[in-house]
Structure 1
Amino acid sequence: MEYVDVDAQVGDLSGVLDPAAYLEHLPSISADLPAGARAFATDSDHYDFLSRRCVKDLALQAVRGAGDEEMEVEFRHNCWKHDQDLVIHYTGVSRFAVDPVDAAATDLGTVILDEILPHRDGCNHEIACWDGTLTIVCRDLQATWTETDCSSKP
């Protein structure tokens, strides 16, 4: 990721998640993001670790349409933190990559943080998980939070 630091150093503590540089840069690039990506990236809950709509700790559940012009990525809630699942629908996909390349996208684990940047094709959405990274370049994306039942723990 270019701005989000998933291995920051704070005093003697390393491995700290720090989206501060991205959040400082976001106002200067938000107008260059497609409408759906802009709405998702600038949502005040997106990087608020205490928010139920923060992407941190969501579990990568499914990837549908990988390699197609339209695709969806589904994230499952963590009942200790979230009360909703997240589905991101991507349109005009021009690049889809999983790192490490030999990993299945659904084996990347839970989300650490993500970053959405302008791209000549629309936007670049990089999602860092504990076991790898998912990158999608697309014309735009639409993020939808859906209610879920947290009475039965995952």
Structure 2
Amino acid sequence: MKYITAVWDDGGFYVDPRAYLAELPKFRDQLPDGAREFASDPAHYALGHGNSRCVKDLELSAVRVATDKSGNLILEFTPNQWKHDAGLRISYSGVKHFSIDYAHAIDWMLVDTVLLDEILPHEDGGCTHEIALTDASITVRCEDLKAVWEDAG
């Protein structure tokens, strides 16, 4: 990631969105509508307790790749039981690139959870969304995305 810090440091994860949040106003208007709305949501990077709409600690639960060449992709995240009251579904349109790179360094965790993510405009239009997980990273380059919080009940 270019601005977000999400690293393993001395036996724990260190995450810091401040550099990204400082730069976001400079390129926010270059992001497609859905990506801009998601990245600009004040709760998105609010790491404090009591914020159930922060992406940190969501658990990756499903990856749905279209097989019909439509360029659609869906990532689903279930809520962390101690933090979130809803899960998150991110639907991508016009996907040009999708990858999951596994580090396989944290083998004691049962699921990959979100550390933080970063959405940047892409030089060819659309955006790039990178998600740092506890044991992997996801990169999607697409025309736009739509993020919807869905009730866990």
SS in 2 for 1:21: helix
Unmatched 5+ stretches in structure 1: 150-154
* Structure 2 residue corresponding to 1:111, chosen from 114, 125, 131: 114
Q: State the alpha-carbon separation in 1 of the partners of residues 16 and 82 from structure 2.
A: 21
* Structure 2 residue corresponding to 1:129, chosen from 133, 136, 142: 133
Q: How many residue pairs were aligned? A: 143
> Does structure 1 retain, via aligned residues, the 8 Å contact 2:64–2:74?
yes
Structure 1 stretches of 4+ with a deviation exceeding 3 A read: 12-15
CA 1:136–1:101 in structure 2 vs 1: closer, same or farther (change >3 Å)?
A: farther
Match of 2:145 in 1: 141
Q: State the alpha-carbon separation in 2 of the partners of residues 101 and 20 from structure 1.
A: 25
Match of 1:54 in 2: 54
TM-score by length of 1: 0.85
Q: Which residue identity is paired with 1:135?
A: T
SS in 2 for 1:117: strand
RMSD: 2.4
CA 1:13–1:24 in structure 2 vs 1: closer, same or farther (change >3 Å)?
A: farther
Match of 2:6 in 1: 6
Match of 2:107 in 1: none
Q: Shift in Å at residue 19 of structure 1?
A: 0.5
Name the % identity.
47
Unmatched 5+ stretches in structure 2: 105-109
TM-score by length of 2: 0.85
CA 1:14–1:85 in structure 2 vs 1: closer, same or farther (change >3 Å)?
A: closer
Q: State the alpha-carbon separation in 2 of the partners of residues 8 and 85 from structure 1.
A: 25
Pairwise mapping of residues 5-154 of structure 1 onto structure 2 (< 5 A)?
5-7=5-7, 15-50=13-48, 51-65=51-65, 68=69, 69-100=71-102, 109-119=112-122, 120-149=124-153
